[in-house]
Amino acid sequence: MSIRNSSLPPRSLPKKPKRNNKKGFFARLGKAIFIIFIIAVLVVGGYLTYLYVKLDQGVLDTGVDKPVAPEQSAKVKPLTMLLLGTDNRPKHVSYLTDVIMVVSLNPVTNSATIVSLPRDSYLELDGYKKDKINAYYSRFKKKEKTSGISAEDEMKTMMGKYLDVDVDYVTILDFQAFRDVVDALNGVNVNISADMCYTDSVDGTDINLKEGPAKLGGDEALDYVRYRKSNCVPKTKGSDDFDRNKRQSEVLHSMIDKMQSLGGVAKLGSILDAVNNNMKTDIERDQLKNMMTEYYKISKEDVEFKPVTGTWRSPYVYINEEELDAAKQSLQDRLAEVSPAPSDSP
């Protein structure tokens, strides 16, 4: 994963919704442990049966209650999902997306490709007004009543066109889910590379993290993945989208480690509640079961991360076109994969 350090772009307060900046993957994981990651965190450690039963009994109120045709099952068909982390919190209603990822899954090779895009990316696409990529979900939300098209469907269409793939599903997670999941796991272990300090009385942000190994609770972990710039005296070093992507990955791996521990098993009910209460998806419940059944043993080696970077020129990140083309190709290649031919050698 290529991470570039540069001065943090100032956090601009969008016309109404603030950009997805707050949400980081968990920008929201950093804000949102999007579904694939949530699925990975929850089932990689061997919790498939528990989740499957919860879904089957309707206890976990997640997903769409309609049948899935056998040929559309995740067990046999490669699928692509859009994962969004929104800057939505109890005292801050917003649909800006801090986390924007597209995941392609292939059941034949039991593998996945995950492409992440900076939230401040400048998007210029036929049929759409030029803007930061994190602003479109909020814009589509405002137009739902007049357009008759859900913001989620609009995002699938737009991102599919942008990345040259058909997007089958979309999942949205918010800030609170991230906090609750981290707290349910009794915190995450990270190694903070530098001091981080930022305060905002408007939304209650109070980031004050010190360099070195640390165990972070939900609020602090959210601060860690969200941090962009400092307004403290003395100022601490700023952070760009690419630095945040790196921290999001660090937090994710720590969460997976926690889930694979005995403590994670004991906390599973609380984790499911956090996901259930703070996630929206158009994935059918039966399809969720199919995904869990098919991918619960996927290994880290079979998950390819393709973060797309770019150059910051306020107020946008201008995407590296070569990286974007490579990301598109990786998604397409993953969907087209077939099992390797058997070797002729004895």
Give me the helices (H) in 189-240, please.
218-226
Q: pTM for the full model?
A: 0.73
More confident residue, 159 or 270: 159
Q: How many domains does the chain have?
A: 1
Percent of the chain whose predicted confidence (pLDDT) is above 70: 72
- Phi-psi domain of 187 (left: phi exceeds 0; alpha: psi -120 through 50; beta: other): left
Separation CA 250–CA 307 (nearest Å): 14
Taking all residues of the chain, what is their mean pLDDT, rounded to a whole number? 79
In a domain, 283, yes or no: yes
In a domain, 330, yes or no: yes
The per-residue pLDDT for 94 is 77
Separation CA 172–CA 167 (nearest Å): 14
| Residue-wise pLDDT tens digits, 197-244 | 999 877 778 999 999 999 999 999 989 988 889 999 999 999 887 788
Q: Residue type for 184, please?
A: A
The per-residue pLDDT for 58 is 54
In a domain, 11, yes or no: no
Q: What are phi and psi of 342, to 5 degrees?
A: -65, 145
Collapsed DSSP state (helix, strand, coil) of residue 80: strand
* 305-317 residues labelled b (16+ CB within 10 A) or e (exposed): ebbbbbebeeebb
CATH number of the domain to which 296 belongs: 3.30.420.590
| Residue-wise pLDDT tens digits, 41-65 | 443 333 445 555 555 555 555 668 8
DSSP 71: G
The per-residue pLDDT for 294 is 85
pLDDT band at 5 (very low <50, low <70, confident <90, very high): very low
DSSP 135-186: GHHHHHHHHHHHH-S-HHHHHHHHHHHHHTS---EEEEEEHHHHHHHHHHTT
Separation CA 193–CA 295 (nearest Å): 33
| Residue-wise pLDDT tens digits, 151-206 | 999 999 999 999 999 999 998 888 777 788 888 888 999 999 999 999 987 777 89
Inter-residue long-range contacts of 48-54, CB under 8 Å, 24+ positions, other chains counted:
48/292, 48/293, 48/296, 50/268, 51/272, 51/292, 52/289, 52/292, 52/293, 54/272
In a domain, 209, yes or no: no
pLDDT band at 339 (very low <50, low <70, confident <90, very high): low
Domain assignment of residue 166, given as a range: 20-187+263-336
CB 262 within 8 A of CB 140: no
In a domain, 196, yes or no: no
Q: What are the structure tokens assigned to 292, written together?
A: 């869990």
| Residue-wise pLDDT tens digits, 115-148 | 989 889 999 999 999 999 999 999 999 999 999 9
In a domain, 94, yes or no: yes
CB 140 within 8 A of CB 154: yes
Is the pLDDT at 27 greater than 60? The verdict is no
In a domain, 222, yes or no: no
| Residue-wise pLDDT tens digits, 280-334 | 889 888 888 888 778 877 776 788 888 898 998 989 999 999 999 999 999 999 9
Separation CA 151–CA 119 (nearest Å): 17
In a domain, 247, yes or no: no
